[in-house]
Structure 1
Amino acid sequence: MDGLSLTGRTALVTGGAGGIGTAICADLAGLGARVVVADLDEDAARATAAALPDAVAERVDLADPASIDDLAGRVGRADVLVHNAGVSVVEPFVDGDPASWDLMWKINLRAPMYLTRLLLPGMRGWGRLVFISSDGARAGSGGEGAYAATKAGLFGLAKTLAREAARQGVTSNVVCPGPTDTPMQRAIAEHHPGLVDRLARQIPLRRIGRPADVAGLVAFLCTDRAGYITGQTLSVSGGITMC
């Protein structure tokens, strides 16, 4: 099919060594992109990049603006920027530690703002911005008030960028995974026995998501076939969220 190739494009994926991130990197590489796997875990990033053609690994601490500056300097420019990295601390809001709120704000919202500001000027004539948020940010999620708030901030950012960058051929969209089988989800489930089964029973398709479910939509949004889609928030949730 025409319009589905990313040959000649460079794609930077933050959190690229994580569960969803690895799947996104694989799909973008499969479409021909040169993928930059950016992650705090440098060894995991290298392992992910080694499994892909023409991919490179870059360490970045998204809580540190200086580290983001260094990453942008090493990459130079990117045609595709996927903000996939995120951190969640599950706790009742009134019992929350403001220090954990600060960490989630830095990684989940400030880092995408900062990195986009550095790389967007280089997307002249063509570019793709994809922000990975969460269905918890759309609908709320018990125990994830601060996480949902920081991820919800991506909605306003992405829509504003969709308007501001449209004239330079850049699209900007948000993808919201529902419950997905990732290391983060498993870590949460360890402290909440039966959580995955309870979630699956609530989902019309009767299973939690897989990283590949999310990656497929992200990859499509990065192609020319999705060139008329911008400013949108799309869920990948098996039907648990319908809005």
Structure 2
Amino acid sequence: MAAGALEGKVALVTGGSRGIGRAIAERLARDGAAVGVAYARDEAAADETVERIRKDGGRAFALHAELGRHGDATRLWTAFDAAGKDHAPDGKLDIIVNNAGIGRSAPLASLTEDGFDEVFAVNVRAPFFIVQQGLPRLRDGGRIINISSGAARLAAPEIIAYGATKGALDTFTLNLAKELGPRGITANSVAPGIVDTDVNASWLRGDPQAEAHAASLAALGRVGQPEDVADIVAFLASDDARWVTGRVIDATGGAGL
């Protein structure tokens, strides 16, 4: 991919303040895009992400958008307009990355209705309506990239609802690709496995046995890093991926082979 492959583009990354989302935002910015870093609660982390991008010579802006409640997509786009007016004065953009998500580590027997509703609201309903309301803003030839999970294809009963949300997200991606193809817009999912982020820190970091087990699940023999996922997203966002749509790109390092 050529340097500056996304020069002049505008991107939105939900959940962009930490972990995989931060790595995606930083990579897209390095490739030339102006990146809207959407965050739910951690304003300091979002500001830090923006500052890191700017110190690296990139363009970015933070916007607050808590997902999971009715009207969240409308509030997100309102925040995008306000925070991004210097980078996207017409409200248009080229890349939407639906990265924000929550997990519910509860098996079937103990998952509550409220817990089920919450994980589906954030992981499925929010991306659905973010895209629905974003389509008039998304330029022809644009990119929609949904961050899915290996849990959509690998059985993990302890996070059954989470896996179901990611399966739904992959189906959403498939249908978007078909509907938006005439506009030259591609839609793809990226499905990470276990990644060394703050979300997994409590059980993964500092425990050699846990890390060794996690690494053993991947054919490539290590735990994933946020940059492993971000680099795939950058490819899908670029013109190099213009002929790839409706696909789920496995980013598990070969888990379950």
Following superposition of structure 1 onto structure 2, how do residues 102-141 of structure 1 map, counting pairs within 5 Å? 102-141=117-156
Q: Once superposed, what is the RMSD of the aligned Cα atoms?
A: 1.8
Whether 1:69 and 2:74 are equivalent positions in the alignment is: yes
Task: State the distance in 2 between where 1:19 and 1:223 align.
Answer: 22
Quick one: percent identity of the two aligned structures? 37
Question: 2:15 — aligned with what?
Answer: 15
Whether 1:200 and 2:215 are equivalent positions in the alignment is: yes
Whether 1:214 and 2:223 are equivalent positions in the alignment is: no
**Deviation larger for 130-139 or 198-207:** 198-207
Task: State the distance in 2 between where 1:219 and 1:210 align.
Answer: 15
Task: State the distance in 1 between where 2:203 and 2:161 align.
Answer: 16
Task: State the distance in 2 between where 1:42 and 1:77 align.
Answer: 24
Whether 1:25 and 2:30 are equivalent positions in the alignment is: no
The answer for unaligned runs of 5 or more in structure 2 is 81-90
Task: State the distance in 1 between where 2:133 and 2:166 align.
Answer: 20
Task: State the distance in 2 between where 1:92 and 1:141 align.
Answer: 9
Task: State the distance in 2 between where 1:188 and 1:14 align.
Answer: 25
Q: Describe the shift of the 1:106–1:69 C-alpha distance in structure 2 as closer, same or farther (beyond 3 A).
A: same
How far 1:142 moved relative to its partner?
Answer: 3.1
Contact 1:123 1:168 in 2 (8 A): no
Contact 1:178 1:238 in 2 (8 A): yes
Q: Describe the shift of the 1:83–1:164 C-alpha distance in structure 2 as closer, same or farther (beyond 3 A).
A: same
Whether 1:178 and 2:193 are equivalent positions in the alignment is: yes
Task: State the distance in 2 between where 1:94 and 1:197 align.
Answer: 29
Following superposition of structure 1 onto structure 2, how do residues 224-239 of structure 1 map, counting pairs within 5 Å? 224-239=239-254
Q: Describe the shift of the 1:150–1:90 C-alpha distance in structure 2 as closer, same or farther (beyond 3 A).
A: same
Task: State the distance in 1 between where 2:141 and 2:3 align.
Answer: 13
Whether 1:57 and 2:62 are equivalent positions in the alignment is: yes
Letter in 2 for 1:33: A
Whether 1:37 and 2:42 are equivalent positions in the alignment is: no
How far 1:173 moved relative to its partner?
Answer: 0.1
Output the TM-score relative to the length of structure 2. Answer: 0.88
SS at match of 2:117: helix
Following superposition of structure 1 onto structure 2, how do residues 75-86 of structure 1 map, counting pairs within 5 Å? 75=80, 76-86=91-101
How far 1:64 moved relative to its partner?
Answer: 2.3
Letter in 1 for 2:140: G
How far 1:188 moved relative to its partner?
Answer: 4.8
Task: State the distance in 1 between where 2:144 and 2:163 align.
Answer: 20
Task: State the distance in 2 between where 1:42 and 1:227 align.
Answer: 34
Contact 2:4 2:30 in 1 (8 A): no
SS at match of 2:156: coil
**Deviation larger for 54-63 or 178-187:** 178-187
Task: State the distance in 1 between where 2:241 and 2:52 align.
Answer: 27
The answer for unaligned runs of 5 or more in structure 1 is none
How far 1:198 moved relative to its partner?
Answer: 1.4
Q: Describe the shift of the 1:102–1:187 C-alpha distance in structure 2 as closer, same or farther (beyond 3 A).
A: farther
Following superposition of structure 1 onto structure 2, how do residues 149-164 of structure 1 map, counting pairs within 5 Å? 149-164=164-179
- Number of residue pairs matched by the alignment: 241
